[in-house]
Amino acid sequence: MSEPFLGELKLASFNFPPKGWAQCNGQLLPINQNQALFALLGTTYGGDGRQTFALPNLQGRAPLHRGNGVVLGQIAGAETVTLNSSQLPTHTHTLTASADIANASVPGGALPAAKPRGGMNRYAPDGNDTVMGASSLNPIGGSQPHQNMQPYTVLMWIIAMQGIFPSQN
């Protein structure tokens, strides 16, 4: 294997970084012990720029090429998301009813119907702007976050801590 460029990233299918490489898990490094790598990365991925700088953190993240408003070192996205009603597609819920007299006590396969003699009105008549009874339609959902991750296979990102200092041209 040829010598890597300093700061080069690779994927590893084993669970340790080989000699001269480190995991891309965002760890802070001292500048005075890694001056060449600091010259390449600066504080793009973190650190104070006086004593420390950080390696990229690719734990649970997918890499993305810079451009179109996305800058080097930018972190975005979320592993879980909780949707609210403004994020749902515009849609309507309709309720169909029958003018026939109700003759069933269970709603399965049936429609709301006119009250039987001595029964109770559960719904307002068609064309009336009265609000439907609160017990007629129940809200659903629990406002709990859901998974927001694409299918994945876990590998380990590593960064070359030693190697050839890359020239620009």
pLDDT tens digit sequence for 87-140: 888 877 666 666 666 666 666 666 666 666 666 555 444 443 444 455 556 666
| Within a domain: 127 | yes
Residue 106 lies in a domain: yes
| Mean pLDDT across the chain | 83
Which residue do the tokens 């998301």 mark?
81
Query: Can you give the pLDDT at residue 126?
Result: 44
Query: What are the residues whose beta carbons fall under 8 Å from the beta carbon of 70, sequence distance 6 or more?
Result: 64
CA dihedral 17, 152, 149, 142 (to 10 degrees): -110
Close Cβ partners of 152 (under 8 Å, ≥ 6 residues apart)? none
Asked whether residue 117 is domain-assigned, the answer is yes
Let me know if residue 115 belongs to a domain.
Answer: yes
**Is residue 129 one of the residues assigned to a domain?**
yes
> What is the count of structural domains for the chain?
1
- Choose between 97 and 82: higher pLDDT: 82
The pLDDT score that the predictor gives to residue 125 is 40
Host domain of residue 103: 96-135
Asked, for residue 107, whether it belongs to a domain, the answer is: yes
- 131, part of any domain: yes
